[in-house]
C-alpha cells in the first residue's frame, strides 16, 4: 500500500491534537451535566425520507447502502444524519412513553454532510447539542437558560470570548405584519444578506422580491439596525411607531433574555435585530455565536426555539436548543495555535528497563504507580538509559523511573533532578499527573 | 410524522441505559490511559478498495455516496469502516513521520457492518481497541502486555469475570509442518469448527479438505485438545513427539504469556490450542475472551499479533492489539440486568421554584451549587411543591432544594429528611454527587 493521502473534508488529528479535542469534549460534557442534561446518543443513520423533509438539505445527505445488497431489496433507504436535531425529533417520538418531560438532553456526535469537496468544508464533523423538549408546552424561560448554558460551556474552553447575538422571530413577524409587509419569509431572506451586500441592495430585494414599498423597506432596514443588551432595544423598536401584539410579545421575550444574560454572563449576549438566519423555521428566540477576533469562522454555536420540533399527530413537542460546531472550533484552536496539550500521551512516568531479564521488575513498578492513579508506561526495550530517556522526551513524558532491587530513583527529565523514590508512595506534582491543555 | 419504529441492528439506549454505556466507555478510557495509550479517532469512512482488501468482508461494507452526486464524478468510492484495524493501518502509514514508535493507541468508535438484517446482529456498534504498532520491529513482550491491559479493563467493568483464551500461530504452523501437513490454513479452518461439529467431523474435513492422513488428523486433534495455564502446556505438546523450530518458538511465547498472566491477573488467561479463529491472518499470539456464564455471547474481546499490520513498501509496521465489542457487552449488561445506573440524569439537586417571579432566586441557588461541582437543575414550572418533588422523583434526583429569602432548606426525598442549608456550603454525600453504576 502506498502512503495514503488525506481525504478532503474529513479532519483527523495527531495524538497531541486529539488531546485538545478530547479536552474540549470533556469540558462540554461536564458543563452540560452540571446543568442536569442527560446524555444520549442516536444511531448514525435515519431513513432518507426523514432526512429530506427539509428539501434544501438534500444535496448534503450521504446515502448509505449495503455493498452487496440484494436486487429488489425491501430495506428502507438510509442516510447519515447531517445534524443532531432530526435524530432528536425522531428519538423523542420513538421513546416518548419512556421519557420525562421537559426532556433535557445533550448529545455529542459526529454528523456528515455531502458537501462539494472543493468548498473546503468539513464533510464529517462533531457537533455538541443541548436541547430541552417539552410535551405540548415548553416554558419561555428555557429560551433564556439554554444560551446561558452554552455561554458557560464556551467560557470554560481555551478560546477567546464569544458574542452571542440573539433575535426573536415574533419581532420580525409582528413588525412586518404591523407595517403591512406580508411576505415575512421573503423579507427575512433579504435581511439575511445585509452584512454581505449592504442596505441599498437589500432594500432593492425587499421591494422587488418581497413586495415592499420604499417606506416598508426603509422601516425593515431600520429595525435590522437595532442592537443592544438592555430594555432600550425595545424602546428603539417602539420608536419606529409600529404597533402589533406579536411584536410586543417578542420584545418582551428579547428583553427578558438580554437582561437575564447581563446578570448571569455579563458582556456576552446582545440583541441584534439583523439576525435573520433560521428565522424562517424557528418560532421564537434565535441564537448565533461568534468567536471574538475570529468572526471569519462564522457562527460556532447556533440554535433557537421550535414550537413544533416533533409531532406524532396526537401530540406536539416544542423544543429549544443550540448546537456547537466542535470540529470547526477545534480546527481553529489547533490551526491558530490558541491552545496546546502539555504532552501527546497520557503517560506521566516511563519506567526504564535495566535488562530484558528484569522487565518484570519494571512492570511491577508501573503497576504500583497505576494502582494509585498515575499513568505509567514501561520502556519498549532495554536500550541504554540515554536512549530510553530520549524516548520519554520525544513523547513529552516528564518522568523516567529507574528501578533497582536495592532502591529506586526517579528523574524529572526536564530539570534533570533525580531522587530516591518508592513506587508505593511517590507521586508527581498535580500539574504533571494528567495531560493538560493550556492557552498558548 | 407517525411514531417511528426502531431500525433493526441499530441499538439505541434510553438516558438511564446510556449512563451505563458511558460508564463502560469511561472505565475503558481510564484504564487505557493509565497504561499510556494515546487516544485517537479516525474518520468514519475509508476508500472502498481499502475496505475490500480482505475479500471475505465485502458483504459487510456499507458504501456511502452523496445523494446528489454529479454524473461521472471522479470522487473515490467510500465506505463506512467495519473495524478500527483497517483505519489504524492507514492512519499509521499516513502519519508515520509524525508518530513516535512503538505507537500505543486506543480508539473507541462506532463501526458499521452491512449484515443481513434477519441475522439479528448489530449493524452499528461501538468498538474499543488497543494496539501497539512498531516500525520494522515490535518486541514480543507487547503480546503479553496487551491482553493484560484488556484483562484489567474488563475487570473494572460491572460484568462477571472473563476468561481470555490464547493460542499462537507459530505452534499450529510449526506442528502441522512438523507432521507433514502442508495445508496449514485448511487445517486451521477445520479445527475452527471443533466446538461446533465435534472431533469426528473435523477429522473428516482434515482428511478430505486439508489432505491429512488419518494419523496427521489424529495428531492435529490431540494438539487442539490441550489447554492449561502454565509450562505443562508445552510439555504436553512435546509429548506428542513432533519436533520443529517454529513450534518451539511458539511454545516459548505461549508459556511466557500464560506465566506472566498467572502472576499479574491470576485465573484469567488460559492457553487453549483449539483456538483457530484469526490464525489465518495473525502471525503470533491470538486472543479470544468469553464472559463467564455468558459464553453464548461469543468472544467479547479478540485480537492478536500481525507481523505486517501495514506496509508502504519501504517500511513494515508490525502490530498487536485487541478489540472489545462494547455494544454487545452493554446490551448484555442491560438486557441481563447485570448493572444499573443510580439515576437517569446527572442532576443531584432539583431547585424548586416558589413562583415564576422568584425564578431568579432558584437560578442563583443552582448556579452556586454548580460552581462547587454539584449538578443542579431548576424546576420547570412553579407548580405546587408536591408536583415539583414528583418531577424530581420521576428522574431519580435525590434532593429538592427550597429557596427562601430568609433561609433555604433541602430535602432528601428518599428519606423525607429536610434541613436548613446554605447554597454556598451545602453538599450532598459523595455517593449522591454523581450518577453511579452498580452491579445488580
Contact criterion met (CB < 8 Å) for A48 and B67:
yes
Residues 6+ apart with CB under 8 A from A145: A132, B378
Q: Is the pLDDT of residue B381 over 80?
A: yes
Share of chain A above pLDDT 70, in %: 96
How much is the pLDDT for B73?
64
How much is the pLDDT for B281?
83
* Residues of chain B found within 8 Å of residue A351, distances taken between Cβ atoms: none
* Residues of chain A found within 8 Å of residue B48, distances taken between Cβ atoms: 67
pLDDT tens digits for range A342-373: 999 999 999 999 999 999 999 999 999 999 99
Using 50, 70 and 90 to split pLDDT, how confident is the model at A256? Answer: very high
Contact criterion met (CB < 8 Å) for A58 and B68:
yes
Distance CA A335, CA A333 (A): 6
Residues 6+ apart with CB under 8 A from B377: A35, A36, A104, B345, B347, B349, B350, B351, B366, B397
Contact criterion met (CB < 8 Å) for A15 and B344:
no
The answer to whether the peptide bond before residue B102 is cis (omega within 30 degrees of 0) is: yes
Residues 50-89 of B with CB under 8 A from A: 50, 58-59, 61-69, 75-76, 78-80, 89
Q: What is the dihedral angle through the alpha carbons of B18, B20, B25, B27, rounded to the nearest 10 degrees?
A: 160
Q: Which three cell numbers stand for residue B99?
A: 508518530
Which of A4, A40, A363 has its CB closest to that of B18? A40
- Cβ–Cβ contact B114 with A under 8 A: yes
Q: Is the pLDDT of residue B72 over 90?
A: no
- Cβ–Cβ contact A292 with B under 8 A: no
Q: Which three cell numbers stand for residue B247?
A: 513450534
Contact criterion met (CB < 8 Å) for A12 and B112:
no
Distance CA B253, CA B286 (A): 11
Strand order in the sheet with B399-402: B376-378, B349-351, B399-402, B408-412, B418-421
Closest to B304 (Cα-Cα) out of B253, B268, B350: B253
pLDDT tens digits for range A267-279: 999 999 999 887 7
Greater confidence (A187 vs A1) lies with A187
Q: Which domains does chain B have, with CATH numbers?
A: 15-340 (3.30.930.10), 349-439 (3.40.50.800)
Q: How many CB atoms lie within 10 A of CB B70?
A: 9
Contact criterion met (CB < 8 Å) for B67 and A58:
yes
Q: Is the pLDDT of residue A206 over 90?
A: yes
What is the value of ipTM here, to two decimals?
0.96
CB B61, CB A67: distance < 8 Å: yes
Q: Is the pLDDT of residue B435 over 60?
A: yes
Which of B15, B38, B134 has its CB closest to that of A38? B15
The answer to whether the peptide bond before residue B60 is cis (omega within 30 degrees of 0) is: no
Closest to A191 (Cα-Cα) out of A59, A93, A286, A66: A286
Q: How many CB atoms lie within 10 A of CB A430?
A: 8
Which of A42, A145, A381 has its CB closest to that of B139? A381
Distance CA A409, CA A422 (A): 8
Q: Is the pLDDT of residue B17 over 70?
A: yes
Greater confidence (B115 vs B416) lies with B416
DSSP class of residue A75 equals P
Contact criterion met (CB < 8 Å) for B347 and A66:
no
Distance CA A249, CA B231 (A): 81
How many angstroms from the chain centroid is the CA of residue B329? Answer: 8
Q: Is the pLDDT of residue A118 over 80?
A: no
Minimum distance, in Å, between the CA of residue A9 and any CA atom of chain B:
10
Closest to B132 (Cα-Cα) out of B233, B249, B37: B37
How much is the pLDDT for B278?
77
CB A44, CB A80: distance < 8 Å: yes
Disruptive mutation site among A110, A126, A345 for chain B (greatest number of B CBs within 10 Å):
A345
Distance CA B415, CA B434 (A): 19
Distance CA A182, CA A45 (A): 39
Closest to A47 (Cα-Cα) out of A91, A77, A87, A74: A77
How much is the pLDDT for B145?
98
Contact criterion met (CB < 8 Å) for A36 and B373:
no
Share of chain A above pLDDT 90, in %: 88
CB A321, CB A141: distance < 8 Å: no
DSSP class of residue A22 equals H
Share of chain B above pLDDT 70, in %: 96
* Residues of chain B found within 8 Å of residue A105, distances taken between Cβ atoms: 15
B261 → chain A, closest CA residue: A360
How much is the pLDDT for B405?
85
3-state secondary structure B337-354: CCEEECCCCCCCEEECCC
How much is the pLDDT for A276?
87
Helix A141-155 vs helix A15-34: angle between axes, to the nearest 10 degrees?
A: 150
CB A388, CB A411: distance < 8 Å: no
DSSP class of residue A434 equals S
DSSP class of residue A2 equals P
How much is the pLDDT for B67?
81
**Poorest-pLDDT segment among A137-141, B57-61, B363-367:** B57-61
Residues 147-206 of A with CB under 8 A from B: none
Q: Is the pLDDT of residue B280 over 80?
A: no
How much is the pLDDT for B41?
98
How much is the pLDDT for B383?
97
* Residues of chain A found within 8 Å of residue B359, distances taken between Cβ atoms: 141
How much is the pLDDT for B56?
57
Distance CA B214, CA B144 (A): 36
CB B270, CB B292: distance < 8 Å: no
Using 50, 70 and 90 to split pLDDT, how confident is the model at A82? Answer: very high
Burial class from Cβ neighbours inside 10 Å (0-12, 13-18, 19+) for residue B98 reads exposed
DSSP string computed for A190-242: HHTTHHHHHHHHHHHHHHHTS---HHHHHHHHHHHT-EESSTHHHHHHHTTT-
How much is the pLDDT for A56?
57
Q: What's the whole-number average pLDDT of chain B?
A: 94
Reduced to 3 states (helix: H, G, I; strand: E, B; else coil), residue A322 is strand
Closest to A439 (Cα-Cα) out of A162, A15, A24, A151: A24
pLDDT tens digits for range B95-115: 999 999 999 999 999 999 988
3-state secondary structure chain B: CCCCCCCCCCCCCCHHHHHHHHHHHHHHHHHHHHCCCEECCCCCEEEHHHHCCCHHHHHHCEEEEECCCCCCCCCCCEEECCCCHHHHHHHHHHHHHHCCCCEEEEEEEEEECCCCHHHCCCCEEEEEEEEEECCCCCCCHHHHHHHHHHHHHHHCCCCCCEEEEEEEHHHHHHHHHHCCCCCHHHHHHHHCCHHHHHHHHHHHHHHHCCCCCHHHHHHHHHHHCCEECCCHHHHHHHCCCCCCHHHHHHHHHHHHHHHHHHHHCCCCEEEECCCCCCCCCCCCEEEEEEECCCHHHCCCEEEEEEEEEEECCCCEEEEEEEEEEHHHHHHHHHHCCCEEECCCCCCCEEECCCCHHHHHHHHHHHHHHHHCCCCEEECCCCCCHHHHHHHHHHHCCCEEEECCCCCEEEEECCCCCEEEECCCCCCCCHHHHCCCEEEC
Burial per residue of B260-297, b for 16 or more beta-carbon CB atoms within 10 angstroms, e otherwise: bbeebbeebbbbbbbbbbbbeebbbbbbbbbbeebeeb
Contact criterion met (CB < 8 Å) for B377 and A35:
yes
Which of B100, B344, B370 has its CB closest to that of A34? B370
Burial class from Cβ neighbours inside 10 Å (0-12, 13-18, 19+) for residue B181 reads buried
pLDDT tens digits for range A221-248: 999 999 999 999 999 999 999 999 999 9
Q: Is the pLDDT of residue B163 over 80?
A: yes
Length reported for chain A: 440
Output the CA–CA distances (angstroms, integers) from residue A139 to A102, A134, A316, B52, B75, in the order listed: 9, 8, 14, 52, 48
Contact criterion met (CB < 8 Å) for B391 and A75:
no
- Cβ–Cβ contact B357 with A under 8 A: no
- Cβ–Cβ contact B314 with A under 8 A: no
Mean pLDDT of B112-124: 82
Distance CA B183, CA B177 (A): 9
Closest to A293 (Cα-Cα) out of A332, A259, A342, A237: A332
How much is the pLDDT for B277?
80
Q: Is the pLDDT of residue B117 over 70?
A: no
DSSP class of residue A265 equals S
Closest to A267 (Cα-Cα) out of A130, A156, A155: A155
Q: Which three cell numbers stand for residue B141?
A: 513482550
Greatest distance between any 2 Cα atoms in chain A = 93
How much is the pLDDT for B132?
98
Strand-pair category, B103-112 with B124-133:
antiparallel
How many angstroms from the chain centroid is the CA of residue A76? Answer: 31
**Poorest-pLDDT segment among A76-85, B117-126, B145-154:** B117-126
Q: Which three cell numbers stand for residue A200?
A: 441599498
How much is the pLDDT for B55?
60
Q: How many CB atoms lie within 10 A of CB A19?
A: 23
Q: Is the pLDDT of residue B74 over 80?
A: no
How much is the pLDDT for A66?
87
Strand-pair category, A78-80 with A103-112:
unpaired
Q: Which three cell numbers stand for residue B311?
A: 506496509
How much is the pLDDT for A280?
74
Output the CA–CA distances (angstroms, integers) from residue A101 to A139, A318, B400, in the order listed: 12, 11, 17
Amino acid at each position: 500500500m502506498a502512503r495514503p493521502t488525506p481525504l478532503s473534508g474529513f479532519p483527523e488529528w495527531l495524538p497531541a491534537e486529539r488531546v485538545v479535542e478530547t479536552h474540549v469534549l470533556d469540558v462540554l460534557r461536564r458543563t452540560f451535566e452540571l446543568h442536569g442534561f442527560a446524555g444520549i446518543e442516536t444511531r448514525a443513520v435515519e431513513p432518507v425520507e426523514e432526512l429530506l423533509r427539509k428539501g434544501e438539505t438534500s444535496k448534503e445527505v450521504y446515502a448509505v447502502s449495503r455493498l452487496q445488497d440484494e436486487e429488489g431489496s425491501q430495506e428502507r433507504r438510509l442516510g447519515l444524519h447531517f445534524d443532531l436535531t432530526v435524530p432528536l425529533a425522531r428519538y423523542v417520538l420513538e421513546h416518548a412513553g419512556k421519557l420525562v418531560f421537559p426532556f433535557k438532553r445533550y448529545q455529542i456526535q459526529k454528523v456528515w454532510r455531502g458537501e462539494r469537496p472543493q468548498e473546503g468544508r468539513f464533510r464529517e464533523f462533531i457537533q455538541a447539542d443541548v436541547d430541552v423538549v417539552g410535551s405540548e408546552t415548553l416554558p419561555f424561560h428555557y429560551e433564556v437558560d439554554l444560551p446561558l448554558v452554552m455561554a458557560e460551556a464556551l467560557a470554560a474552553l481555551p478560546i477567546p470570548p464569544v458574542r452571542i447575538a440573539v433575535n426573536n422571530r415574533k419581532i420580525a413577524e409582528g413588525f412586518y405584519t404591523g407595517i403591512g409587509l406580508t411576505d415575512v419569509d421573503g423579507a427575512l431572506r433579504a435581511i439575511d444578506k445585509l452584512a454581505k451586500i449592504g442596505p441599498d441592495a437589500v432594500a432593492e430585494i425587499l421591494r422587488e422580491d418581497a413586495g415592499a414599498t420604499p417606506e416598508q423597506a426603509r422601516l425593515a432596514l431600520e429595525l435590522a439596525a437595532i442592537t443592544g443588551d438592555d430594555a432600550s432595544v425595545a424602546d428603539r423598536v417602539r420608536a419606529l411607531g409600529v404597533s402589533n401584539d406579536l411584536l410586543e410579545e417578542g420584545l418582551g421575550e428579547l428583553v427578558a433574555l438580554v437582561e437575564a444574560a447581563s446578570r448571569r454572563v455579563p458582556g456576552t449576549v446582545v440583541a441584534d435585530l439583523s439576525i435573520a438566519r433560521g428565522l424562517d423555521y424557528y418560532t421564537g428566540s434565535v441564537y448565533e455565536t461568534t468567536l471574538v477576533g475570529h468572526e471569519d469562522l462564522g457562527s460556532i454555536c447556533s440554535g433557537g426555539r421550535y414550537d413544533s420540533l416533533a409531532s406524532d399527530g396526537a401530540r406536539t413537542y416544542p423544543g429549544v436548543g443550540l448546537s456547537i460546531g466542535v470540529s470547526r472550533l477545534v480546527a481553529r484552536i489547533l490551526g491558530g495555535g490558541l491552545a496546546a496539550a502539555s504532552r501527546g500521551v497520557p503517560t506521566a512516568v516511563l519506567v526504564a528497563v535495566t535488562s530484558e531479564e528484569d522487565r518484570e521488575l519494571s512492570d511491577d513498578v508501573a503497576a504500583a504507580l497505576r494502582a494509585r492513579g498515575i499513568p505509567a508506561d514501561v520502556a519498549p526495550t532495554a536500550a541504554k538509559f540515554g536512549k530510553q530517556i530520549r524516548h520519554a522526551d520525544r513523547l513529552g513524558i516528564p518522568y523516567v523511573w529507574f528501578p533497582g532491587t536495592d532502591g529506586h530513583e526517579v528523574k524529572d527529565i526536564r530539570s534533570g533532578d533525580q531522587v530516591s523514590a518508592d513506587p508505593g508512595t511517590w507521586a508527581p506534582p498535580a500539574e504533571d499527573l494528567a495531560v493538560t491543555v493550556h492557552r498558548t
